[in-house]
Amino acid sequence: MKKLLLLLCVGMYQNIAAQEATLGIRDQNAHKNVDRLSILDTISLPFDLSDEKKLSNEDILNKKEGFFATGLPRFEFDPIRGFGIGGNLFLFQNKTKEDPFFYYTPYRYSINTEFFIFENGRVRAAVNLDVPYIFNSKWRFRADAVVWEDPHAQYWGIGRQSLDRLSFEDKSAGAMGGVRQFNRVRDYEENLSIAVPGNGGRLQTDTHYNQFLQRELLFNALGERVEMGGKLRFMFGYEALFTAFEDYTGTIAEEAFLADGTAVEAEQRQTLVNRQINDGTWERFNLSGFSDHYKFTSMLAAALIYDTRDLEPDPSKGVFLQYSHEYSAPWLGSDFNFNKFMVQGQFIHTFHRWKNNRNRLTFAGLAAFGHIFGPNINFIEMWDLSSQAEAGGILVLGGGRSLRGYREARFLAPTVGLVNLEMRARLYDFNAFNQHFALGVTPFYDFGTVWEGLNDVQLNNFRGAPGIGGRIAWNQSTVLRLDYAQSVEGGQFFFGFGHIF
C-alpha cells in the first residue's frame, strides 16, 4: 500500500511540474480574491440559467482559467486480474472569467483518454468527449469510444438464486466430495482451482467456472438540450456495440493445483455459463449473444433528467433525477430485440462548512432501479443499468462502482435495485504548482438486490457492505478515489477517477 501511494505521488508531481513551465504559478491567495465574484453582477448569459446551477463561491475562486491537463499513471491490484498498469489523461478548457459559463459549468469541454492493461491480459482503452453548452447554445454533446478485452469476465449465474451463498463440491481431499458452502470468495476460488482425476484418469479443474473471455467495441454519440434554466435535460442518442465471447469449457486451465498446492496441467470442466446456456436458464430469460464471432447491438437511447447539482464532478448540493431508456431492434440492424430502462435518484446535501467554507461535510445518496425485457436480449446488457449520464452506465451488481464489497456481477438478474450512501468529508485544501487540491475521507455503505422480473419485486434479501475511501479533488474537475469495502465474502480495494456517482 505504501508503494502504491508513493507511485501515486510521484506521478502527480511529474504531471504538475510539466505544466508549471507553460501555465505559470497560481496565486496562493486565490481563495481571498473576490474579483471573480464581483463579475457575477455584470455577466450576461445567452439564455437564463438557474442560480441552483451556479458553482459555489469557493469553487469559483479556485477554478483555473484556460486550458489545462490533469492525469496520472495508475498502478493497481485487482483480486481477479492481478497487477495492472496504465493511466488517464484529462484535457480541460475552462476559458476565462469573462466567459459567462465559467460560473455555471465544471468546464467548457473535456477530453478523457484512458489506457490500462492487467497482469491477466485485460485491456481497456477509451476516449470520452464532453462539451456542455456547445457553441453557447442550450445543447450539450457527448461522444465515447471504448475498446475492451477481459479474459476473466465474471459470471456468477442469473436470477434470484445468484443471491444464495457460494457453494460447490468440496475438493479439499483431492477428489469430488459433497456440496460445501463457502463464507469467503477466496476460499471458494481456491477450491475451484483444485485438480481432481476425471474420466480416463485425466486431471480436471474448475478454475474458470465463473469466468469467460469478453471482447467489446463501443461507440456512441449523445445530444442533450437543457430547459428550465439548465435544470431539465432532454437527452437522446445512438450506440453501436460489438461483442464477442469465448467459453473455457474443455480448455487447459493456466492455474490448476493439486490439493497439496502442487501446480499441474488440467482440463477445465463445464463452466457455469456453459451449463446455464444448455440447461434452459438462458432460454427462460430470453438471453442470447454468447458467440466467438462479433454480434452487433444497435441501440437508440433517450433520457429525461432533472438536475440541480452545483458541480457535476464533485457536487456539494442538489438533486439528480433520471429516467433513461434503451431500445434495440432488427430494423436498426441489430442482432437483438429488447428494451432496457432505469430510474435513478441522487440527493446531495452539505451539513456543515468551516474554514471560510473551504472544508465541508456532505451527504451523497443514490437509489437506482433498472429492468431489461424483450424476446431476444444480448445477455451482456444485463451487466449495467442504462444510465445515459455517463459512458457504460452503472455496472451491477458488485464491483468498484456498485456493491464495492462484492465481486463484479456477483448478483445478476433482469431487474436490479441499488443504493449507495456516502458521507464525503473535505478536510484540507491547498494550492501547489499552479494547481488546487482538496483532500478528504468518505465512509460509505452500499446495498442492493436483484429480481427475476417486475412481478417478483419484494423488499427483502438485500446484500450490503460498508467501506471507507480517500478522495483527492484536483482542480475541481478531477477526483481521485481510493476505496476499501468489506462484505461477508471478503474485502476489496479499488482505485479510480471520479466519485461512483
Least-confidence region, from 13-17, 32-36, 361-365: 13-17
Grid cell at residue 155 = 459470471
Taking residues 326-343, report their average pLDDT: 97
CA gap 215, 220 in Å, rounded: 17
Least confident of 246-250, 346-350, 396-400: 396-400
Euclidean distance between CA atoms 209 and 189, whole angstroms = 9
What is the distance between the alpha carbons of residues 379 and 440, in angstroms, rounded to a whole number? Answer: 39
**Which comes out higher in pLDDT, residue 149 or 391?**
149
491: which 3 cell numbers?
474485502
Q: Quick one: 80 exposed, middle or buried, by C-beta within 10 A (0-12, 13-18, 19+)?
A: buried
Burial of 17 (0-12, 13-18, 19+ CB in 10 A): exposed
Query: Rounded mean pLDDT of 399-422?
Result: 94
Helix (H, G, I), strand (E, B) or coil at 19: helix
Predicted confidence at residue 390, as pLDDT, reads: 64
For 243, the grid coordinates are 461483442
CB 291 within 8 A of CB 244: yes
Q: Give the bridge partners for 353, in sequence order.
A: 360
Structure-block grid coordinates of residue 481: 478515489
Between 225 and 120, residue with greater pLDDT: 225
For residue 331, how many other CB atoms are within 10 A of its CB? 7
With cell 472544508, the residue in question is: 359
Cell of 454: 417486475
The pTM of this model reads 0.83
Average pLDDT (149-174) is 94
**Neighbouring C-alpha atoms within 13 Å toward the C-beta of 363:** 7
* Mean pLDDT computed over 51-77: 80
The total of other beta-carbon atoms located within 10 Å of residue 230's CB is 22
Q: Is the pLDDT of residue 121 over 80?
A: yes
pLDDT recorded at residue 435: 82
Neighbours of 58 (CB within 10 A): 21
The alpha carbon of residue 410 and the mean position of all alpha carbons in its chain are separated, in whole angstroms, by 15
Q: Which residue has the higher pLDDT, 91 or 18?
A: 91
**What ranges in 149-234 are assigned the alpha helix state H?**
185-193
Which of 13-27, 205-219, 313-327, 407-421 is least confident? 13-27
